[in-house]
Structure 1
């Protein structure tokens, strides 16, 4: 018997909570069906498959994280914006590791084509970086650098990869100081004109 009131949104929220509790890889259609006390087949009238469920978790997590970042950076520029952006990003990832993991999956353009979340997230990142005087293609390069630095740090932190006695927070703060200096002194692109 299908439990009344199941919707794609309710399934997504429950799957996101499950991902945070047990890890994204352990979220399955079967596990979600058991959670709601229904048969697997009952869920397929709301979601197509596990892949769609993961896209939904990623978009939910991305929207939540973007909202937190937007609130943190509002009215800030330069180093203040960078630190607020980075701290909001990290705090969300540490509080919601399963949702965060979903946001790091690779999606096809078709899966996220209509996503306002992706556009808003990119807009926030580029807006913060423009305050450093960057323009394309440096905006993309700097955005990729920040994402790699934040994600790498968070991944190591979540997996217990920092064993040195210095606090992880102190290293995070100094890393942000270094990224700020780098962004303020972004290297000029070499002249690629023929000689």
Structure 2
């Protein structure tokens, strides 16, 4: 008999905690069931197998980082909002490493109707709107920013920065580079194409 109080949300949260503690790649139905004190088959009532479990963790990650950035940018615009966004992004990745890895796979894991409540790509789009970037350039700008922030955070969390120079300063310089780039972003930059309705890919 399933444990009293076991719900899809409870299962997803426990899976997310396990991912943060032990790594997203180590996530399994058996490991989550053990932490919840139930038999593995009991989880199938609440989640659509391992893929469904991974999808729920990815959605929690997307919502979490979106909310973190949203809170950080309240009352801010332009360069100030972008700096706050970058700080919130990095802070979330360090605080929730498993969820952070999971959310990068959301476009593959998510099916129809599985969009996060707070889409981080839409939040980034709102931040970049403060720079006056044309709509047909927004996706390109978001991709460039996400690639840079993710690349830095990924290298950092994997121990890729071995030199003694301050990593915080390096990150700040990266962000300032984007502040300047977006301030001078031209509406006639190479590449066209309207932003897709589904912005999860970003």
Query: 2:180 matched to which residue of 1?
Result: 181
Give the C-alpha shift of residue 11 in structure 1: 0.6
**Cα separation, partners in 2 of 1:45 and 1:77, compared to 1, 3 Å:** same
Q: How does 1:158-177 map to 2 (within 5 A)?
A: 158-177=157-176
Unaligned runs of 5+ in 2: 193-202
Query: 2:24 matched to which residue of 1?
Result: 24
Q: How does 1:10-49 map to 2 (within 5 A)?
A: 10-49=10-49
Contact in 1 for aligned 2:59/2:116 (Cα 8 Å): no
Moved more, 79-88 or 101-110: 101-110
Taking the aligned partners of 2:109 and 2:57, their CA distance within structure 1 comes to 16
Contact in 1 for aligned 2:51/2:109 (Cα 8 Å): no
Taking the aligned partners of 1:13 and 1:109, their CA distance within structure 2 comes to 17
Give the C-alpha shift of residue 104 in structure 1: 0.4
**Cα separation, partners in 2 of 1:191 and 1:13, compared to 1, 3 Å:** closer
Give the C-alpha shift of residue 125 in structure 1: 1.1
Query: 1:128 matched to which residue of 2?
Result: 127
**Highest CA radius of gyration, 1 or 2?**
1
Q: How many pairs align?
A: 191
Runs ≥4 residues deviating over 4 A: none
Query: 2:197 matched to which residue of 1?
Result: none
CA RMSD for the aligned pairs?
1.9
Give the C-alpha shift of residue 190 in structure 1: 4.7
Give the C-alpha shift of residue 136 in structure 1: 2.5
Give the C-alpha shift of residue 41 in structure 1: 0.6
SS in 2 for 1:5: coil
Query: 1:95 matched to which residue of 2?
Result: 95
Contact in 1 for aligned 2:55/2:106 (Cα 8 Å): no
Give the C-alpha shift of residue 110 in structure 1: 5.9
Give the C-alpha shift of residue 117 in structure 1: 2.6
Q: How does 1:51-70 map to 2 (within 5 A)?
A: 51-70=51-70
Moved more, 182-191 or 24-33: 182-191
